[in-house]
Structures are given as C-alpha cells and as structure tokens.
Amino acid sequence: MDFNSSRYILRQGFVSLKRNIWLSLTSILTVTISIVLLGSSIIFLANIESIAKTLESQLQIGVFLDDQLLNTQITDIQNEIKGISGVSTVTFTSKEQAIVDFQKSLRITSLLEDLDGVNPLPDKITIVANNPNLVQGIAAQVQKISGVGDVSYGHGILEKLIAFTNWLRWIGVAVVAVFGFASLLLISLSIKTNVYSRGKEIQIMRLVGASNSLVRWPFIIEGLIIGLLGALIAMIIIGFSFFWLQHSILGSLAFIPVVTGLQFILQVLAVMLLTAMIMGALASVFSVRKFLHF
Amino acid sequence: MIKLRNVSKIYPNGARALQNINLEIAKGEFVFLVGSSGAGKSTLIKLLYREETATRGQVLINNTNLGRINNHLIPMIRRNIGVVFQDFKLLPKKTVFENVAFALQVIGKDRKNIKENTLNMLELVGLSNKVNVFPTELSGGEQQRVCVARALVNSPSLLIADEPTGNLDVDTAWGIMNLLDKINKYGTTIVMATHALHIVEQMNRRVIRVEEGKITEDRVEEAFRVGF
C-alpha cells in the first residue's frame, strides 16, 4: 500500500463516519450498550466466583488430637499435615485455648471450675484446603497419622456446598456467554447495516478499479473508530458504576465478598475496549467481503 | 482489442444468456450492441468488464484471457476499462469533482495529479461550472456526463456503455452521443448497448445485433437501416 492510498484510506475512514453521521451514531450507541452488557456480566461473574471462593474457604477440616501427646509430637503431626498436597493453612489450637474460646462463645467464665478443673476438650488442628474437592482426601490421609483422634470436615454439607458453588459458577459463566454472544451479535449486525447501506459505493469503487484492500480498509478504520468510541462511553459508564457500587456495598453490606480493586476494573475495561475494537474491525471485514466476490 | 471465442454463458439458475458467441472488435472502433431486452446484451457487456465470467469459451481483452486471471488482478483490468450505466451510479454524498476524482483516488494517484486530471476531464464533458455541485442538483444529462468523465478520467483504452441514454430525453441523449463520438475520435474504443434505434441509425457505425443469446447481425454498412 503506497503513501497516497494509505492517506486516502485514513481520511476516507473518518470522512464517511462523518458523512453518515446518524448511522455512525447508531452503531456507536449499539456498541456502547453491548459492551456495557459484556462488562457488567464479567463483573457479575467475578463476584460470583468471589462469593463461591469465600464460601468454600470456610470449609475446614478439624483434627482432634489424642490426649497426652508431647509438644514435639504435636509439631511432627503439624509438619506431616503441611506436607500433604492441597493443604493451604494449618492452625493449632491448644486445649487450653479451646476451652477459653468455648467459654467465650457460651458467654460464661466459670466453665473450667464447673468441670472441676478437668478440661474435656482435645487439642485441635484446623486445616484449610486449597480446593474443596480435596477436603475428603486430605481428611482420609490425616486420619492415618498416629496421634490423630477424630477428623471432622462437615461430611454431607461439603457435597452440598460444592454443588451449590459449582451451580453459582455455571450461572456466572452462562450470563457472560449469553451477554457476550448478544453483544457480539449486536455489534456485528450494526456494522453490517453500516456497510450494506453503502453497497452502491463499494460497487462503484470496484467498477473504477479499486483493489480489494482499498475497498476494505476504510471500512476497517471506520469499524475500529466505532468500536473505540462506543467502548469509551461504555468504559465511562461501567467505571463510574463500579466505583459507586463498590463504595455503597462496602459501606452497607460489608459481609458480601465483592470484588474490588483498581487492577481488576482496569482489566475489565481493557477487555471491553479490545472486544469492541476487534469486533468492529472483524465485522467490517466480513461485511465488506460480501461485496468483494468476483 | 476485444476477442470473444465460442463464448457461452449459462447462469446458475439455468438461463442460457449467450450461446457460442464469436466476436472481434478492433482498437478505436465504435460499436453499437442492439437487440431486444433479455437478448443477452447486458451479459455480453458484463463479460467485458469481468463482472461475469464465460461458462465456455474465451473472452480476451488486449490478449488477456479474462476467464483465466487471478481475482486480485481484476481491479487492474477494470482500470483500463471505463463503464457508463443507464442509472448513472453516482455517489450522492460526493460532489461532481469528488465523484470523478474518486476513480483516481482508488488507484493511488497523488493529489496534484487528481486535481489536474479531474478538472481537465470535467472541462471536456462541459461541466467546468458544476465542479462543486452535488449530483442531485444536476439534470439527467449532466449526471450522465459526470459518469462519462469518471469513466474516462484515468484514460482507459475501452469505454463500455450500457444504455447510457436510456434515461435521457432525445436532445440530452444526443449531447451524450456527441461527447462519446468526440472521445472515440481521441482513440478510445467504445462499445455501447442501446435500444435507441434513431441514434444507431444516425451515428452510422458498426452494429451488432444480439437475439436470444446469439449474434444475428453484424453490419458495418453506411446505409444501415432497421428492417422491421
């Protein structure tokens, strides 16, 4: 592509955008709506994922140790547990600490005296797994360690919780898939209308001997600009809503584990921008191709 | 310049538009293509600028077989052929100047060259005073002259006209014919499909009659008269 043609293409992309101003505005607005849908569904998915993760991280394995173990034995057991793959954190709670915690939860102070000074609670190790699916296996391995008494991990509840969080994730993915597909469809339809309405122009370009790339490129530039402008508006909308919602949720509903953070929202905005521009350009290429059959 | 050898065209729907056409047109000729509607004139014209390809046989323009060339070379072929249509095909959102300059822009000419050639061409077709006007503000004859200017601005050796006077009144039609005649005298080969028999008669050039997909008459006589 020589200099004259490149200049023509660039100029032409902008000029036709301006001359078909209403069509361009409609396309830009369509892109905005589609990309807002896409962006909010991604944020929705991220939050679903975060809620599921939080729920799952509350799945713990309680390991109750036999009485009369030496401190070194307890340390050995802890180390052994740490060595099991899939174990995230290991916390030791001594029986003395356990009774204090228990008293606190019962809101009394005289429990130990009531029990004649005999602490019936065992030493306890709390394990958090990397992944809830590993909980059962870890529990089984821990059970085999000598010095370990009971191992409890919410048998029954575990399966239900995993089923529930998986189901949550599927909803999130389905929402992104549906909205993502809808927005891609909307953008490509809109660009297609834009290109088709200028079929005559393309026909004439071909008649006077324009090469295929010279017909195609102004439309690609136009598609990129439409994608860019549409995405910019969508980014402003999503960006502001995100910070506003984050602020109000953190202020009033702090127990909901919302996804926050500048990096996260920047990534979402980047995905939105790229999707819009790539779709704009691709839709142009495919729409123009219809007219380039010889 | 143009050679058709045993050319047949059958459309995908089965319509036999042309059957075994043999034809030769020399450089500098002015040829009328006549025949009733649906006889195959338009198909023949489309074969010449490679809008369609022959089902059988060869279409040669300047010894290039249009059926054999690679798709990306079609634009190169088109740059050497000007095309004018009955319905003008002007871009309504471009001015007269831009419509003509368009043909030069798409082949990558520089601005100075474009301006010079476009203005010269508009002068040749007598539209120097309408340079910055939009097509919708022009009369039919003026619009067709813009089309002729656009078809000729990159100096093609062949001009193809598909019923260029079809939408024009008699006087305006003659304006266009005089313009084509002038262009032909400068050396451009012209192939023109038409229904306007009074023009064909008075112009007194070679006439090829196509009926039912076949050439039924090819006459060069001075005293050509329509027989029916």
The answer to whether A214 contacts chain B (CB < 8 Å) is: yes
pLDDT tens digit string along B90-121?
988 889 999 999 889 888 888 899 999 999 99
| Full DSSP string of B96-161 | HHHHHHHHHHTTT--HHHHHHHHHHHHHHTT-GGGTT--GGGS-HHHHHHHHHHHHHTT--SEEEE
pLDDT on residue A230 = 94
pLDDT band at A76 (very low <50, low <70, confident <90, very high): confident
pLDDT of A1 > 60? The answer is no
User: In A145-261, which residue ranges form alpha helices assigned H by DSSP?
Assistant: 157-196, 199-207, 212-252
Per-residue pLDDT, A198: 82
Which residue ranges of chain B lie beneath pLDDT 50? 224-228
* Per-residue pLDDT band at A258 (split at 50, 70, 90): low
CA-to-CA dists, residue B64 to A205, B2, B8, B95, B158, angstroms: 22, 9, 18, 35, 14
* Tokens linked to A68: 């009369």
Residue ending a domain, choose from A125, A153, A181: A153
Measured in angstroms, the CA of A190 and the nearest CA of chain B are apart by 21
ipTM exceeding cut-off 0.90 for this assembly: no
pLDDT, one tens digit per residue, over A157-169 is 777 878 888 888 8
**pLDDT interval class at A257 (50, 70, 90):** low
Chain A contacts in chain B segment 69-128 (CB below 8 A): 71-72, 74-80, 83, 89, 91, 93, 102-103, 105-111
| Pair A72, A217 in one domain | no
Set of chain A residues whose Cβ sits within 8 Å of the Cβ of B12: none
pLDDT over 90 percentage in chain A: 14
Do both A116 and A44 map to the same domain?
no
Beta bridge partners of residue B18, listed in sequence order: B9
Number of structural domains chain A divides into:
2
State which amino acid sits at residue B92: P
Mean residue pLDDT of chain A comes to 84
Among A106, A123, A153, residue at a domain's last position: A153
* Pair A15, A115 in one domain: no
Say which of B71, B79, B91 has its CB closest to residue A209: B79
Q: Among A4, A201, A207, whose Cβ lies nearest the Cβ of B78? A: A207
Q: Which residues of B touch A2 (CB under 8 A)?
A: 108
Looking at beta carbons, which residues of chain A come within 8 Å of B110? 4
pLDDT, mean of residues A265-282 = 92
Domain boundary residue among A153, A188, A222? A153
| CATH number where A83 lies | 3.30.70.3040
Residue of A nearest to B152 (CA): A208
pLDDT at B224: 47
Nearest to A292 by CA among A194, A218, A205: A205
Q: A253: pLDDT confidence band, cut at 50, 70 and 90?
A: low
* More confident call, B31 vs A206: B31
- In angstroms, the CA A243 to CA A236 distance is 11
The confidence score (pLDDT) of residue A156 equals 72
Please tell me the predicted confidence (pLDDT) of residue B227: 46
Q: Specify the pLDDT at position B221.
A: 57
- State yes or no: pLDDT of A22 exceeds 80: yes
Distance CA B91, CA A34 (A): 32
* A50: pLDDT strictly greater than 90: no
Which domain does A97 fall in, by range?
60-153
For chain B, the domains span 90-155
Residue in A10, A21, A215, A294 to test binding to B, most B beta-carbons within 10 Å:
A294
User: Which of the residues A3, A208, A214 would you substitute to probe the B interface, choosing the one with the greatest number of B C-beta atoms within 10 Å?
Assistant: A208
Q: Give the model's pLDDT for residue B228.
A: 42
From the CA of B72, how many Å to the nearest CA of chain A?
Answer: 7
pLDDT at A122: 86
Indicate which of B106, B112, B159 best probes the interface with A, i.e. most A CBs within 10 Å of its own CB: B106
